[in-house]
Structure formats: structure tokens, C-alpha cells
Amino acid sequence: MAGSKNLLGIFMVQIMLVGLFSSHTEGQGLKVGFYKKSCPQAEAIVSKVISDVMAVAPSLSGPLLRMHFHDCFIRGCDGSVLLDSPNGQSEKFSPPNLSLRGYNIIDRVKLALEKACPHVVSCADIVALVARDVTVATKGPHWEVETGRRDGNVSLIGEPTNPGTGLPPFFANITVLKQSFALRGLSVKDLVVLSGGHTIGMSHCSSFESRLYNFTGKGDTDPTMDPNYIARLKLKCKPRDRTTLAELDPGSFKTFDDSYYKLVTKRRGLLESDAALLNDPETRAYLVQAISHGSTFFKDFGVSMVNMGRIGVLTGSQGEVRKVCTKTN
């Protein structure tokens, strides 16, 4: 009886979530060039600001790409991750979002757009355009970004960490990852392709410390990780280190390329969620394809980013266009 109650509970959560995300109508109302008439220079303005920023702060590329993912996976791509809260109760104060950086860059882009076209371009669209432009700036693929999103006005600190419905944690296994993506209408291919975004990222030592020092609570290391790599990481990350950052793709973290997949296949994925890609036939097959001569990774990444950018969008008269990205109008 308890088991069936539990199943019913999971089923009800999924129904509620499908309701939350299916207002997204699979991106209806979005289109490439949405601002063509209302703000013809919009994309060029975003691109110029990002090009200036990347020239002096290239390490912001990973965080700004990740911001779009963190935004879309909670309440859909509605800019809710940007909202401040007087008592620290919005999404940006949730533990998974504390490592996000670059909010000031989004504000800088918004300021430039407000000067050119007041109250036209949404913050949710800015986050999506910035994610594309930082990818291009790090020698990654270019794709056409669908625009027309409106900004949401709800942002809750508890949602990113809700079990089963929040952001997939860094220690997620392949089953949890697949469920998390499926819940949002994304495929297993989207999962493995978007994981490739880790090619331009950094992670705090605390996110993988247990793999180096205490994997099962017995002072052991993760047996699925290359022991030589563990030895190297231990030189950088000491136990209980909460501040040091490690490259997710050592030697190439400022360049968007396929080397992340090469590392994962060599059992050198930094996070448990990276290593998990080896534990499923479909994701493992893609890892092999992504590092082969006929790799479709760059093209696939653009397609999967468009798919992700359609999650739970507000369009038409829904939501609002914020004047300032950190607060509702």
C-alpha cells in the first residue's frame, strides 16, 4: 500500500510539472528575428557587448552559458533566475545558483538595449542570445536563436533544489538525468549534447570532492574515475576546499570543442553527472560519435539549445518585459 501511495505521489508531481512546462506549447510564439521591426539592432547590440566582455573576461563564457540552462530548467525560460529578492528568497539564492556569475553582464546588455529600444527586448531573450554569443566567442557553433519570450514574475528559492523537479544535481546518475530532461520535453540526445557545454566550464572542488576522498563514506575514491586523474586533482583540491575552481575540460576550458567528450570516454569526467554518460548505451554511443571524424556535435548543439530555449516559455500577452532584469515592473 505504501508503495502504491508513493507511486501516486510521484505521478501527481509529474502531472503538475507537465502542467507547468506544457504552458510552454513547445515554443509557440517564438520565432527567429522576433525583434526585426521593433528593435532591428537587438542581436547586434547583444553581440557587441558580449564581444567586449569576452575580450577582457573570457572565463565568464561558461557561467553565462550555464545561466540559460539554470533559467530554462526552472519555470521555463522566463528570466526568473535573474530576479533579486529583498530577503534572499528568489532562485538566484538557491544553492545550485550560488556559483552562477555574470548577472552584471546581463544588466549591461539590458542597459544597452533599453537605450536603443526602451521596454522591447525581454530579459529571458537576452539570456538566450548571450548563451549563443559566448559559445561563438569561444570558437563554438553559431545557431539562430528563436526570440519572443516574455519575462516571468515569480522566482522561488526552493524550486531549483526540489527533488525530482529541480535542477539535476552534479551527483545525478543517468536515470535521474534522463528523467529530468524528459520532464521538460528534452530527449536523451539533448541530454548528452547539452552536457558538451561543459567544454567551457569550471567547477568548485566541493562538487567532486567525494570522488577523490570519500566516495562511499570509507575514505575511498570513485572506482569509475581514472586513478591518474584523481592523483592530479588531489594536488589542486584538498579536503573541505570550498573556494578552489577546477576546469571541467582541462587545457581547453576557454575553447568550445569536443575535448570534453574525449575526457569522459577516458574516465576523466569531473562530475558524477559527466561520468554518468558512460552508463547508458545511447549517451555512450554519442560520446564515441562526437569525437569521430564525422562528428555532428556543433550542429547538434545548436539544435539542442533551440529545443531547450522552448521550455515553458511565456509569449504574447503572458508575463511582461522587464525594464530592469533584476526586478519585476
Chain centroid to Cα 196, Å, comes to 11
- Please list the residues that pair with 255 across neighbouring strands: none
Closest alpha carbon to 162 in 96, 220, 103, 228: 96
Q: Give the CA distances from residue 190 to residues 30, 67, 104, 257, 259, in Å, rounded to whole numbers and listed in that order.
A: 19, 17, 29, 17, 18
Which uninterrupted H or E stretch holds 134? helix 123-137
Which residues in 58-94 are b (16+ Cβ under 10 Å) and which e? bbbbbbbbbbbbbbbbbbbbbbbbbbeeeeeebbbeb
Annotated catalytic residue 142: no
111 φ, ψ to 5°? -60, -45
The answer to whether the CB of 149 falls within 8 A of the CB of 314 is: yes
The answer to whether the CB of 153 falls within 8 A of the CB of 160 is: no
Write down the catalytic residue from 70, 119, 204, 293: 70
Residues taking part in catalysis: 70
